[in-house]
Amino acid sequence: MENESWVTGNIVLRVNGEPVEMEMTVPDFPVKPHRMLPVFQQMSSAVVDSCVRAVEDEGKEISCKAGCGACCRQAVPISEIEAYQLAELVEEMPEPRRSEVKRRFADALVHFNNIKWFDKLIGLKDLAYIDDPTFSMAKLNAVTTEYLHEGIACPFLEDESCSIHPHRPLVCREYLVTSPAENCSDPTAETIEKVPIFVRPSKAILNVGRTRKMDGISSLMMIEALDFADRNAENFEEKTGKEWAADFFQVLTSKSVPPPNSVPSRKRRKKRWK
Ligand code: SF4
C-alpha cells in the first residue's frame, strides 16, 4: 500500500533518573495493535540497554550469551498481542519447521495440562486479580519454580539459542543476569542477580489492545500462544500508530501522555509494515 503514510517522533523516557531517547516511526493509519510490536520491542531494547549500562558502570558483566538457554525453561508470560504475533510467525515458517515448532507447543501444553500445572497457576492469578488477601507472591514463585523443574524448553529454543531472537517477547528481553550462567538452571533469590529493569515494557504491553478474553488472568504463558490464537479469532480494534504509542506509554509511565497530534513528527512514506 504505497500511499500509507508514516510519522516519526522522538520520545524521551526517564529510566532510573537517566534520559533514554528513542526515535519511533509509526503508521499514521489504523492498524491492529500487534502491528506495533516492532516499536514496543525497540523501546524495550532501549530501556534494557540503559539498565545494562547502569550495571556495567558498577563493574559488573552480563553473563547471558548466545548458546545459554537456561532461562528458556522458565514459564514465560506473554501478552495477548504477542500471542497473535507468535502464532503468525509460526504460520509463516517454512515446512517442515512449522510443523516441528507446532508439535513442540502442543507437547508442552499437553505436559503441563497433564500435571495440572495451569490449574494451580490460574487459581493464584485469579486471587491476585481480585486482590484476595490469601494471594502470595511466594506461592506464585513456587508454582513457576515447579514449571522450571519440569525441564521443558520453550518451543523456540534450538541449540540452546533463541530461534526467533529479533521477535522474542518483551519479557525475554528484560531477563538478564550478572550472576554465573550455570546458576540459572536452578535459580533462587540467593544465587541469581538479575539486571534491575526500572521500567517494565513487558508489563505495560499486557494492557495494550487487550480484548478481555483473558479476564481473571493477567497474562498468557508462551506455550499457550498457538492454542489461544487458534481458539480465539483475533478481534482487536484498530488505531493509528500514534494512538497505540500513547496507550503504551500511558500504561508504562502510569501517566497521561500528550494527545497523539502533539507528538512531534515529520511525514514519511514507507512500504507496508508487517
Ligand atoms: S522466545 Fe526465545 S528467549 Fe524467549 S524463552 Fe523462548 S527461546 Fe528463550
Cβ of 72 closer than 6 Å to ligand 1, yes or no, is: yes
How far apart CA 253 and CA 119 sit, in angstroms, is 33
Return the pLDDT at 9. Answer: 87
**For 152, what's the count of Cα atoms within 13 Å in the CB-facing half-sphere?**
22
CB atoms within 10 A of CB 234: 15
Return the pLDDT at 214. Answer: 55
Average pLDDT, the chain: 85
CB atoms within 10 A of CB 273: 15
How far apart CA 157 and CA 161 sit, in angstroms, is 6
Return the pLDDT at 241. Answer: 94
How far apart CA 94 and CA 116 sit, in angstroms, is 33
Pick the residue whose CA is nearest to atom 5 on ligand 1: 72
Residues of the chain where predicted confidence (pLDDT) is lower than 50: 259-274
85-118 residue pLDDT tens: 999 999 999 999 999 999 999 999 999 999 999 8
Helix (H) / strand (E) element for 243: namely helix 241-253
For the CA of 165, the closest atom of ligand 1 is 2
* From 41, 64, 76, mutation site for ligand 1 pocket: most ligand atoms within 8 A of C-beta: 76
12-35 residue pLDDT tens: 888 878 888 888 899 999 999 989
Cβ of 184 closer than 6 Å to ligand 1, yes or no, is: no
How far apart CA 101 and CA 108 sit, in angstroms, is 11
Cβ of 157 closer than 6 Å to ligand 1, yes or no, is: yes
Whole-model pTM?
Answer: 0.86
- List % helix, strand, coil for the chain (3-state, nearest 5): 45, 15, 40
How far apart CA 200 and CA 99 sit, in angstroms, is 33
Cell 525453561 belongs to: 73
Return the pLDDT at 260. Answer: 43
Cβ of 154 closer than 6 Å to ligand 1, yes or no, is: yes
